[in-house]
Amino acid sequence: MDNPPEQRMPQPPEHIPLLAVVGPTATGKTGLAIRLALRLQGEIVSADSRQLYQGMDIGTAKPTPEERALVPHHLLDSIAPDMPYTLTQYQADAQAAIAAIAARGHLPLLVGGTGLYIRAVVDNLAIPEVPPDWEMRRELEAQAAREGAEALHARLAALDPTSAARIDPANVRRVIRALEVCLATGQPFSALQGARPSPYHVLMLGLTCERARLYECADRRVDAMLAAGLVEEVRALAARGYGWQLPAMTSLGYGEIGAYLRGETSLEEAAKRLKFNTHSYIRRQYSWFRPDTRIHWLECDVPGLEEKALALIHAWLAEK
């Protein structure tokens, strides 16, 4: 904490300044956000859909206790891995955290790579108020198990091509939710997700890197996770009774290591699969973020990153 805060945030009653640090995994969002928060008297709100889960630290690249001691973090360790948590809940929790940070005279930083979480907050997204239909979900899950995830995704594409283009066919949970809304309302899921007036004055910084270098960084991070005890972390979660079928336990890192612990593959193959799937996830993240022209992209592996970010931030704050 050598650098003193450079600027205290004025807090108008509306249009709260909100700095979003976004981009694909392994670009160093956490590190940059912490450095910026220290310089700007900020607090960090997580926009990572898996860092919400308690006990899932290594595989989600959650900020370390040392990092969390430097800067206040919000929406980490919020729920147990077997608890349902909707986009509506996240939006409400994140907006409440941002309002509380602003009330303290601090700068809120929304940090993460879950594109839908980012958009739900930044654009004050209107989220369809369709309650879960558990019977329909079981039927759709059975169809996916029987015919494959691609068949379920094709069904969504017929009803809502826009949502189908946005949702990875392998993300069965999101495909099912989109289908659920389409079937319940008779309208495309995408048509019910429009933006509303936002209470925020937003600056979006995106971290990026040449693709081959980014894949190398991601592969090194997988190796570091394994060295740090990822296998033991997944084994401990299973021992606590969290089933392999839970969305948390099938997510990136946990699903691949779970297959190894169940004896379905070797650790070497699980690691290879995790690296391959991480590359795929990075491509999906780029597909989500690239069309958003509001994002100021910064190369994450060049000298002067922090100062370049601060220059953009100070110009943005001057607009207020």
Give pLDDT, residue 2.
Answer: 47
Is residue 8 over pLDDT 70?
no
- Over residues 212-248, the pLDDT tens digits come to 999 999 999 999 999 999 999 999 999 999 999 999 9
The pLDDT tens digits of the residues spanning 134-168 come to 788 788 888 888 888 888 888 888 888 888 887 88
Quote the pLDDT of residue 228: 98
Are 285 and 176 within 8 A, CB to CB? Answer: no
Q: What is the pTM of this model?
A: 0.85
Q: What is the mean pLDDT of the chain?
A: 91
Q: What average pLDDT does this structure show over 266-280?
A: 98
Domains plus CATH for the chain? Answer: 16-126+195-319 (3.40.50.300), 134-192 (1.10.20.140)
Query: What pLDDT, in 10s, does the model give residues 116-133?
Result: 999 999 999 988 777 778
Please give the pLDDT value at position 4: 45
Query: For residue range 160-192, what is the model confidence (pLDDT) as tens digits?
Result: 888 888 788 878 888 888 888 888 777 787 776
pLDDT at 320: 66
Distance between CA 88 and CA 92 in Å, rounded?
6
